[in-house]
Amino acid sequence: MPSGKRFVSPFDEMRHKLVDHLRSKGITDKLVLKAIDTVPRERFVPQAIRARSYEDTALPIDDRQTISQPYTVAFMTQALLPTQGMRVLEVGTGSGYQSAVLSAIGCTVVSIERLPRLSHQARTILTKFGYNVACRIGDGTIGWREGAPYDGIIVTAGAPDVPEPLARQLAIGGRMVVPVGTQSEQTLYRVTRTAEENWRVEDLGPFKFVPLIGVEGWTDEQ
């Protein structure tokens, strides 16, 4: 190794600034901020718009889907009350960025995506960077029973209602963050399973997601 300066990418600097910005917008969870400070978002964004990776906006990925806005990822992850070793199911792998953040925190992650191409691309990047995420292809509105029960479930697409199979795959004490509403606007809910047949629902405010499509979601428009 030649001695001298370590190579610092301009993206590293942008990432630190994004973390400061998220802090100024009220994100306080140290595990979340630290994870966002380490995951290279530019690798989960299409090459042509990589320069925009650290803008606090959602960006288009393949198949008319989006990588969520960093603030949304931070807010949802914080709302999950993440801990190291927690078992988490993500519905809507998309770019793989959200699952990389969860994995960087130390969660054990299963992520389901309905579009095979996105799942394959996400898996390739996650593997390349050493994030331990089990990527599955299928309809996440019915969950992934093989991995249940989960301490956390994070739904990254907007649902018409809380999908019941997901509520039932939570462990007691487990929580799910899920956007519920119309196809264009949703309210983010945190659903905590407090007992075998009891769930507490909290309203965490308005958000916008692409639609959750599946048997317990919206019907595919095609």
Active site residues: 68
> Which residue, 25, 35, 124, 40, is CA-closest to 75?
25
> Which residue, 198, 178, 5, is CA-closest to 90?
178
Q: Residue 213: beta bridge partners? A: 218
Q: At what angle do helices 30-38 and 10-24 cross, to 10 degrees?
A: 160
Scanning 34-42, 60-68, 78-86, 183-191 for contacts with ligand SAH by CB under 6 A, the matching segment is: 60-68
163 binds ligand SAH (CB under 6 A): no
User: How far from 112 is each of 19, 75, 94, 137, 141, CA to CA, in Å?
Assistant: 27, 20, 9, 5, 9
Token pair recorded at residue 184? 């264009």
Count of CB atoms situated within 10 Å of the CB of 3: 4
Scanning 34-42, 133-141, 167-175, 183-191 for contacts with ligand SAH by CB under 6 A, the matching segment is: 133-141
Q: Considering only residues 112, 126, 170, 178, which one is a binding residue for ligand SAH as defined by CB under 6 A?
A: 112
94 binds ligand SAH (CB under 6 A): yes
Q: Considering only residues 75, 97, 131, 150, which one is a binding residue for ligand SAH as defined by CB under 6 A?
A: 97
Choice between 82 and 140, CB closer to ligand SAH: 140
77 binds ligand SAH (CB under 6 A): no
Q: How far is the CB of 221 from ligand SAH (least distance, A)?
A: 12
Query: Looking at this protein, which amino acid is placed at residue 206?
Result: P
Positions that interact with ligand SAH (CB under 6 A): 65-68, 91-92, 94-95, 97-98, 112-115, 118, 139-141, 156-157, 210, 212-214, 217
